[in-house]
Amino acid sequence: MLPSKLLQKVRKFKLQFSGATVGENPILSAAIVARRGIYMGKAGVLTLADNLMIREGVILDAWGGSIAISSNTFIGPYTIIYGHGGVEIGSDCLISEHCSIHSANHALPAPDRCIRWEDDIRKKTVIHDDVWIGAGAKILAGVTIGKGSVIGAGAVVTKDVEPYSICTGVPARKTGMRDIALIK
C-alpha cells in the first residue's frame, strides 16, 4: 500500500494530468472526476487552491467554462459542479455531500423547437467565503451567495443570497440571519 503522502501526490498528479491547476496540501479522495471540456474551441479551466479537501465521487466538469475553488474549502462526497458559465467558490467554505452547483441552463424555445438542441444560457455562479451549503442543496445558474451564509439541506437556490443569511426550502428563501455581532 502506498504511504499517505505519496498517495496524495499521485491523486494530485492525476488531477493535474486532467488539466487542473492544484495548489499545495490538498486532501484528495479516490474517484474524483475533473474535466475541462471544450466549448467553441476553448478548453475549460479548473483552478483548485491550497488546503482543499475533496471527497470521493466529486465531479468537477468545466464544460469549456471555469471552476475556481479557493483555499481551505471542503467539497463533500458525490457533489457535482458544472462550470459552463463559470463557478467561483470562496475560501473556508463547507459544501456538504450530494450538492450540485450549476452555471448554465437550457433556453426555453417555442413549442415547435426541440428543447434538447437549444444553446445553453451561461451565467456565472459565485459562492463567497465562509459559506455552508447543506446536504443535497442545489445552486442554480447565475446565483451569488453572500459571505457567511448558510444554505439548508435540500434547498434549491434560484436567487441571490445576501451575506450572513440562512436560507432554506424549495425554492430557497431567507428564514434567518447569522448574528453578525458575534462574528465581529
In the chain, domain spans: 4-106+117-183
In the structure, what pLDDT confidence band is assigned to residue 40 with cuts at 50, 70 and 90?
Answer: confident
CB 128 within 8 A of CB 165: no
Per-residue pLDDT at 81: 98
> Over the stretch 83-112, which tens digit does the pLDDT of each residue have?
999 999 999 999 999 999 999 998 888 889
Domain 4-106+117-183 top-level CATH class: mainly beta
Please, what's the largest Cα pairwise distance for the chain?
59
Which spans in the chain are helix H? 4-17, 180-183
- State pTM to two decimals: 0.92
Q: How far apart are CA 64 and CA 148, in angstroms?
A: 29
> Over the stretch 62-90, which tens digit does the pLDDT of each residue have?
999 999 999 999 999 999 999 999 999 99
